[in-house]
């Protein structure tokens, strides 16, 4: 089954389609689109500046954690237990890094794919893990930071639980399908 | 969040000291702070662009139209928000952009939605139930096509990279639905927001 051409078309055309649709509806409704655009775009700078304190707090804390080697320590101490559950040792750090840093998770995944090879189970499992989850802490910082929310209430716990569910489901689904 | 912030930093320093990586930990404060500002600044342009486009979508009534279209679903998820509020339309657009993997567009749409939700919030520094729901939808990261992952697989010469789409879709859908259910459960059991104190952590 080869639906890659279809996917390529969707990912190429989604963005242009949305932009043309919005501009066309604006013109049909006789909106002064240039004026309205610049009016809305003014907020871009403000929003980006607003999120800096929140990003600094979260990204510095996470950079420190990654530099300390804590993630490898946790992964190593759990490896014997998780090996029994059919989780390859090289994929373990991905589980912990994925919610913390998107670029680091993608980097880890590239390493696994290069070292283990394209057909390895590790590569497939890591691919599903990285593809099915989000960088929880970054999302929280940006979304709440943009409007100055300081108390996240239960949003953080929902995010973390979702990450745990995503990791478990990735393992279950991959061991079943591959 | 206070405990987590404290825990992350103290834990990093203690473990860094044990591992003999204390210099790295200290350096990471500088690089992390620098990276945060870089991320924020790199967002300015694309944020401005999409906030401009979204303003046109709002004034032309497109956002409201989308809000009406999906109101049967969102009524249940965002029960504090009137069904035809622009927030609902922006949430729908944020979800669609995320699903298509258009992160650059999704984030400004989500921020527009957060700004709209803030208008209905009684305590401006504490997250409302609707905000927690929107964050649940976003942190769960529903995606139809994991484009970046596929790009890496293509890069290393994977013969059939699209075979990971089906399992990824299965996992991401399950996680997305779970996140919404979990957020609803938390909502039921967490104390309601009040004017001053806000929800407790």
Percent of chain A's residues with pLDDT above 70: 97
Q: At what angle do helices B22-59 and B86-99 cross, to 10 degrees?
A: 120
Put simply, the answer to whether A11 touches B59 (Cβ < 8 Å) is no
The burial class, CB within 10 Å (0-12 / 13-18 / 19+), for A160 is middle
> Residues of A with CB below 8 A from B118's CB?
147, 149
Q: B25-33 long-range contacts, Cβ below 8 Å, gap at least 24?
A: B25/A64, B25/A67, B25/A68, B27/A67, B28/A60, B28/A63, B28/A64, B28/A66, B28/A67, B29/A60, B29/A63, B29/A64, B31/A63, B32/A56, B32/A59, B32/A60, B32/A61, B32/A62, B32/A63, B32/A64, B33/A56, B33/A59, B33/A60
pLDDT at A159 over 90: yes
Could you tell me the residue ranges of all domains in chain A? 1-41, 45-177
Q: How far apart are the first and last CA of chain B?
A: 8
Given pLDDT bands bounded at 50, 70 and 90, which one contains residue B145?
confident
CA dihedral B111, B114, B119, B125 (to 10 degrees): -110
Q: Name the residue range of residue B137's domain.
A: 47-189
Q: Where are the alpha helices (DSSP H) in chain A?
A: 4-28, 33-41, 43-67, 70-84, 92-97, 102-116, 121-131, 136-146, 155-177
- Residue among A51, A148, A178 whose CB faces B124 most closely: A148
Contacts (Cβ under 8 Å, ≥6 apart) of B38: none
Contact B67, B79 (CB under 8 A): no
pLDDT at A3 over 70: no
Tell me, yes or no, whether B9 lies in a domain.
no
Q: Find residues 62-101 of chain A whose CB sits inside 8 Å of chain B.
A: 62-70, 73
> Residues of A with CB below 8 A from B77's CB?
none
**Count of structural domains, chain B:** 1
Distances (CA, A) of B28 to A172, B16, B31: 35, 11, 5
- Residue among A38, A69, A73 whose CB faces B52 most closely: A38
Percent of chain A's residues with pLDDT above 90: 57
pLDDT at B194 over 70: no
Rounded to a whole number of angstroms, the distance from the CA of A65 to the nearest CA of chain B is 5
Instruction: Give pLDDT, residue B198.
Output: 44
Distance between CA atoms of A66 and A98, rounded to whole angstroms?
12
Distance between CA atoms of B36 and A9, rounded to whole angstroms?
34
Put simply, the answer to whether A11 touches B174 (Cβ < 8 Å) is no
DSSP letter assigned to residue A151: B
Contacts (Cβ under 8 Å, ≥6 apart) of B24: A67, A68, B16
Give this complex's ipTM.
0.88
DSSP letter assigned to residue A69: T
Listed range (A17-26, B78-87, B113-122) with the worst mean pLDDT: B78-87
**Minimum Cα–Cα distance from A147: chain B residue:** B115
Tell me, yes or no, whether B15 lies in a domain.
no
Tell me, yes or no, whether B35 lies in a domain.
no
Tell me, yes or no, whether B166 lies in a domain.
yes
pLDDT, tens digit, 9 for 90 and up, residues B10-65: 999 999 999 999 999 999 999 999 999 998 998 899 889 999 999 999 999 998 88
Put simply, the answer to whether B21 touches A153 (Cβ < 8 Å) is no
Tell me, yes or no, whether B161 lies in a domain.
yes
Name which of B18, B134, B175 to mutate to probe chain A: the one with the most chain A Cβ atoms within 10 A of its Cβ.
B175
Tell me, yes or no, whether B63 lies in a domain.
yes
pLDDT at A36 over 90: yes
Tell me, yes or no, whether B13 lies in a domain.
no
What residues pair up with B126 in beta bridges, in sequence order? Answer: A151
pLDDT, tens digit, 9 for 90 and up, residues B67-87: 888 888 888 899 889 888 889
If we measure between CA atoms, which residue out of A7, A74, A15, A86 comes closest to residue B168?
Answer: A7
Instruction: Give pLDDT, residue B71.
Output: 84
Mean pLDDT for chain B overall: 88
Name which of A148, A153, A167 to mutate to probe chain B: the one with the most chain B Cβ atoms within 10 A of its Cβ.
A153
DSSP letter assigned to residue B126: B
pLDDT at B200 over 50: no
Average pLDDT for B91-115: 90
Rounded to a whole number of angstroms, the distance from the CA of A100 to the nearest CA of chain B is 11
Main-chain phi, psi angles of A151, to 5 degrees: -100, 115
- Residue among B60, B148, B171 whose CB faces A29 most closely: B60
Tell me, yes or no, whether B114 lies in a domain.
yes
pLDDT, tens digit, 9 for 90 and up, residues A104-113: 899 899 999 8
Higher pLDDT, B28 or B143: B28
Q: What is the DSSP code string of A104-149?
A: HHHHHHHHHHHHH-TT-HHHHHHHHHHHT---HHHHHHHHHHHTT-
Distances (CA, A) of B16 to A74, A76, A78, A137, A151: 13, 16, 19, 21, 29
Mean pLDDT for chain A overall: 89
């Amino acid at each position: 089954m080869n639906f890659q051409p279809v996917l390529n078309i969707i990912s190429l055309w989604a963005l242009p389609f949305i932009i043309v649709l919005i501009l066309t509806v604006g013109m049909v409704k006789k909106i002064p689109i240039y004026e309205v655009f610049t009016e809305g775009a003014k907020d871009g700078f403000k929003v980006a500046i607003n999120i800096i304190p929140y990003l600094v707090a979260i990204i510095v804390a996470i950079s420190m954690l990654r530099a300390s080697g804590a993630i490898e320590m946790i992964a190593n101490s759990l490896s014997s237990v998780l090996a029994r559950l059919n989780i390859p040792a090289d994929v373990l750090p991905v589980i912990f890094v994925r919610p913390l840093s998107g670029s680091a998770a993608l980097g880890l995944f590239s390493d696994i794919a290069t070292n283990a090879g394209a057909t390895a189970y590790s590569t497939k499992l890591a691919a599903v893990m990285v593809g099915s989850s989000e960088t929880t802490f970054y999302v929280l910082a940006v979304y709440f930071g943009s409007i100055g929310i300081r108390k996240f209430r239960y949003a953080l716990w929902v995010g973390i639980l979702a990450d745990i569910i995503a990791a478990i489901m990735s393992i279950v689904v991959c061991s079943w399908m591959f | 969040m206070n405990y987590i912030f404290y825990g992350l930093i103290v834990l990093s320093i203690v473990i860094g000291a044990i591992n003999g990586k204390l210099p790295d930990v200290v350096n990471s404060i500088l690089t992390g702070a620098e990276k945060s500002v870089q991320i924020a600044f790199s967002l300015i342009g694309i944020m401005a662009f999409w906030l401009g486009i979204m303003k046109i979508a709002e004034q032309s009534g497109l956002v409201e139209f989308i809000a009406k279209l999906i109101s049967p679903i969102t009524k249940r998820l965002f029960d504090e928000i009137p069904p035809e509020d622009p927030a609902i339309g922006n949430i729908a657009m944020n979800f669609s952009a995320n699903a298509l993997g258009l992160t650059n567009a999704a984030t400004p749409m989500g921020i527009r939605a957060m700004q709209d939700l803030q208008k209905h919030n009684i305590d401006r520094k504490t997250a409302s139930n609707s905000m927690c729901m929107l964050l649940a939808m976003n942190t769960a990261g529903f995606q139809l096509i994991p484009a970046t992952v596929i790009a890496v697989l293509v890069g290393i010469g994977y013969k059939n990279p699209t075979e990971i789409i089906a399992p990824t879709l299965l996992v991401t859908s399950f996680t997305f639905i779970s996140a919404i259910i979990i957020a609803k459960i938390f909502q039921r059991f967490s104390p309601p927001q009040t004017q001053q104190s806000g929800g407790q952590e």
